[in-house]
Structure 1
Amino acid sequence: MVGTRQFDEDALLEAALETFWQNGFAATSMIDVAEATGVQRGSLYNAYGDKERLFLLAFERYSIRFLDFVRQALVDPDPVVALTTLFKGVVANMTEGAPSRGCLTTRTAIELPLAGKAIEARVKRLIEDLTALIREALSTPAARRQLSCDPAMAADLVVTFTRGLAVMERAFHNPQHLDKMSKQFVRVLLLDGKRGR
């Protein structure tokens, strides 16, 4: 029978998430997580088995929060407002912290050759879920009238653009430039997007 854990799992997973987010999966060791959480490395192994399992639990928290944010950002029926809100939140999320922490999804996707199949599958599922939410939001009659392409292609383009934002943030650390590019992207994607927003 497994003994009762002698630590606050919620606090531990929160600290582990921040550690993986700042350092990336490959560069984070269980020693790093132990130092960040204040939980002995042996206790971490006993509780979670290995770094991959701990990462997946932390990434699940991140995924739930991120997708909740996306749903809220896309509620406005005006696609210009919805996408502008989405991009503002994405930029704010990846530029938070000092140094800025970047995008955990993109960072992990780049590191997939160093991660296991379970992490690869989880990252792909998050991207698919993100794409589905955007596609649904852009499938309304109001959005279809403004899109320069069909909703499925538009959703793929939005997701691809957010990954590009993440790479540009890592390279230049310039939130103002990311905001400027996001506004221009909305103008290109939405035929009516040039309306003074």
Structure 2
Amino acid sequence: MVGVRQFNEDRLLGDALELFWKKGFSATSMQELAAVTGVQRGSLYNAYGSKEALFLRAYLALHDRYLSRVRATLAAPDPRAALAAFFDFTIETIRQNGRGCLTTKTATDEAARDPKIRQALQTLLTGLETCLVERLESEQIHLRLPVGAAARLVVTHTRGLAVMERIHDDSARLKADAMTLVDLILKAPESPAP
């Protein structure tokens, strides 16, 4: 029937996202997207309008799943354990299938000059910062710096981890660097007075 999509959109977005993740936004062509999704290029243009719009749709679907998983990793009652779990998840995600971090890869690509793509990247990183602020605002957590600054520092460190993973390919080193940051952010709990 004319005007009705003849494809599974969730599957198409997942396949497109994997290709963008593997090759980067700029290096991915609509012809390659058509080949990997099994949907003709003309149908992709009819459904999404442009490569940018298809990327944004796929990226925003990833956004919600990613932040949901981040919140789950931060749920541990002990703040150090919560941050360790968060960094373990971050490093595992970066290293999965040798594909790196899609957000960092896109931010360092010429695609980040596009205002809509930059806004999507900012939205994800702001959401990540919000998750961290919510967790670090707990009364039981003693920080060496204000909550907002601590959250921004953690987010910034995740971008550095994504780059360092590409250079060193060493999980142990990344985890040690992450835990050094945790030690710098968290104060040791105060001992009760004798």
Scaled by the length of structure 2, the TM-score of the pair is: 0.92
Give the Å deviation of 1:177: 1.4
Instruction: Report if aligned partners of 2:137, 2:147 keep a CA contact under 8 Å in 1.
Output: yes
List runs of 5+ in structure 2 lacking aligned partners.
190-194
Give the Å deviation of 1:32: 1.5
Match of 2:67 in 1: 67
User: What residue identity is the alignment partner of 2:133?
Assistant: R
Match of 2:18 in 1: 18
Instruction: Report if aligned partners of 1:26, 1:114 keep a CA contact under 8 Å in 2.
Output: no
Quickly say closer, same or farther: Cα 1:114–1:130, change in 2 above 3 A.
closer
Supply the distance in 2 between the matched residues of 1:114 and 1:155 (Cα, whole angstroms): 23
Q: Percent identity?
A: 44
Q: Pairwise CA RMSD of aligned residues?
A: 1.6
Q: Does 1:188 align with 2:184?
A: yes
Q: Does 1:104 align with 2:102?
A: yes
For residues 57-84 of structure 1, the C-alpha deviation after alignment (integer angstroms, 9 at most, x for no partner) is 1001111111001111111232101100
Supply the distance in 2 between the matched residues of 1:157 and 1:3 (Cα, whole angstroms): 47
Match of 2:85 in 1: 85
Matches for 1:149-164 after TM superposition, within 5 Å: 149-164=145-160
Give the Å deviation of 1:185: 1.6
Instruction: Report if aligned partners of 2:111, 2:117 keep a CA contact under 8 Å in 1.
Output: no
Quickly say closer, same or farther: Cα 1:46–1:113, change in 2 above 3 A.
closer
List runs of 5+ in structure 1 lacking aligned partners.
none
Q: Equivalent residue of 1:96, what SS?
A: helix
Instruction: Report if aligned partners of 1:112, 1:119 keep a CA contact under 8 Å in 2.
Output: no
Supply the distance in 1 between the matched residues of 2:112 and 2:188 (Cα, whole angstroms): 43
Supply the distance in 2 between the matched residues of 1:162 and 1:192 (Cα, whole angstroms): 23
